[in-house]
Structure 1
Amino acid sequence: MSATSATLEIRGVSRRFGKNTAVSAVDLSIPQGQMVGIIGRSGAGKSTLLRMINRLIDPSQGSIFFDGTEVSRLQGSPLRRWQRDCAMIFQQFNLVPRLDVLTNVLLGRLNHRATIANLLGVFSREERAEAIAALERLDIARTALQPAGTLSGGQQQRVAIARALMQQPKVLLADEPIASLDPLNAKVVMDSLQDINLREGITVITNLHTLDTARTYCNRIIGMAAGKVVFDGPPEDLNREAVRMVYGADSKGGEISEVITSTSVTIKQRIAASTGPLEPAFPGY
């Protein structure tokens, strides 16, 4: 595959759960190297779309291609290779809490290795060095020997990103990676994803609830509502009308305030100044 020309193509993709349609006839073309933010209300279909791209679930209809290969039809070892090339980061981190941080990161190499090596749990000196380098890049190498379950949420998410880097992916999917984090840790995580996108040219597609984050970090924003794509364009085109298409109106029929969707430290401080203090200080990261 060409890392400079590989395009992700989503063609007429739908997903139904019983009588409910979570994603409806989505068509998208995402060139290699874009950083894409998918926004929308809870239940808009954002997570379902990412899970179909990674093949954690299958489309009910339509096809997904990457660099000309129909990944929505892959089975067996070709499917495992795709899930290696298309790394996934989850809101819940999906680490093994009792294992140390270094071992959690090394687990990202499993689909690159022979089965016997995986069964024996033996990692090479080169793999360990690569894992430490990934942790250093994310400024958490000092936690390498700690059980992953002892880390803060922001630290655990950075471990999950380091593990994804060990897969040497061509596409990086992040499903609400900052939804459970405070504003300072959210910034650290989004800075890390942006750095990976810019330095390696890896396509990054991330689901986000917050408009300010999408505008700050993504060069393309896709808005979903009721399973359909209702906006697709650069951040500067995400105007009031576009926001209304994505989020609808408030209970009184008025415009949705962007303040309530913001992770901005300054905005939260303004809210605190007018309504009282926020929850105590941000956890360490």
Structure 2
Amino acid sequence: MLELQGLTRRFGARTAVSAVTLAIPAGQMVGVIGRSGAGKSTLLRMINRLTEPSEGRIVADGRDVTAMRGRALRGWRAECAMIFQQFNLVQRLDVLTNVLLGRLYHRPTISSLFKRFTAEERAQALATLDRFDLAEQALQRADTLSGGQQQRVAIARALMQKPRIMLADEPIASLDPRNATVVMEALARVNREDGLTVIVNLHHLDTARRYCDRIIAMDAGRVVFDGPPAELTAERVRDVYGVAEDEFHEGAETPALVA
């Protein structure tokens, strides 16, 4: 169980996330929606401790994550893998090495930097790539892949951490519809087959309804809806956000598409 207790983050006079309290059972796939500036990215970055909370606590299976330092915090970040909108791959390295870098949390950094990975780790990385139909690209440079392929490599790298939770911050925002579907299917597969808790930030309501067990809607840093997808009707969107569903989408960031 992951619990957020009154989680708040301020940047100067601006409150990006305000007193968010949630309980997320293990193995749930959760979509966090909201228009630009709603606080979605800040919320995920606090869960991973990439951004420090101003107030409140994060508790995982009874452990106070907000109190963790040093090795304990490093262990939490291994358990709680992060997927970013812009993939965050090392573009000049081959795909296999990028995936193997997911082992950084479990071995001395210097040996990983010199590519001193074991045969078992290499076999595991290849098997993970094969799950996402990328084994044939293992020796290609990361920058030769499409955006959808790079995001699947990022998911494979995250799996090498052996996480219990996967946080995905706008993982399809810069992808075309076809690649967005492939990436969401990959996240759903990880949730279903590996039993991982997946928390994914999304702009599009239809995507959240299709893939997620639960939808959390944010506005101005606060949770304004928390429930099953079927309850997030067009009428409820209007009640919560004061706009029609198509207007909600128009208010979302729309970065340039990447194939």
Q: The TM-score by the shorter chain falls in which range?
A: over 0.9
Q: TM-score, normalised by structure 2?
A: 0.94
- Taking the aligned partners of 1:259 and 1:56, their CA distance within structure 2 comes to 28
- Taking the aligned partners of 1:223 and 1:259, their CA distance within structure 2 comes to 12
Deviations 1:229-273 (A, max 9, x none): 000000011023321245432xxxxx2327946xxxxxxxxxxxx
Q: Give the match for residue 35 of structure 1.
A: 29
1:93 aligns with 2:87: yes
Q: Give the match for residue 271 of structure 1.
A: none
Q: Higher relative contact order by CA 8 Å / sep ≥ 6: 1 or 2?
A: 2
SS of 1:15's partner is: strand
- Taking the aligned partners of 2:56 and 2:138, their CA distance within structure 1 comes to 43
Tell me how large the CA RMSD over aligned residues is.
1.8
SS of 2:245's partner is: coil
Deviations 1:182-211 (A, max 9, x none): 111001000010011011110000000001
Which amino acid in structure 2 is aligned with residue 197 of structure 1?
A: N
Q: Which stretches in structure 1 are left out of the alignment for 5+ residues?
A: 1-6, 250-254, 262-278
Pairwise mapping of residues 77-226 of structure 1 onto structure 2 (< 5 A)? 77-226=71-220
Which amino acid in structure 2 is aligned with residue 257 of structure 1?
A: D
Contact 1:40/1:247 (8 A) holds in 2: no
1:54 aligns with 2:48: yes
Q: Give the match for residue 264 of structure 1.
A: none
Which amino acid in structure 1 is aligned with residue 54 of structure 2?
A: S
% identical aligned pairs: 65
Q: Give the match for residue 253 of structure 2.
A: none
- Taking the aligned partners of 1:245 and 1:148, their CA distance within structure 2 comes to 44
Structure with larger Rg:
1
Q: Give the match for residue 257 of structure 1.
A: 246
Contact 1:248/1:256 (8 A) holds in 2: no
- Taking the aligned partners of 2:179 and 2:109, their CA distance within structure 1 comes to 36
Q: Give the match for residue 232 of structure 2.
A: 238
Which amino acid in structure 1 is aligned with residue 245 of structure 2?
A: I
- Taking the aligned partners of 1:187 and 1:74, their CA distance within structure 2 comes to 36
Q: TM-score, normalised by structure 1?
A: 0.86
1:13 aligns with 2:7: yes
Q: Give the match for residue 265 of structure 1.
A: none
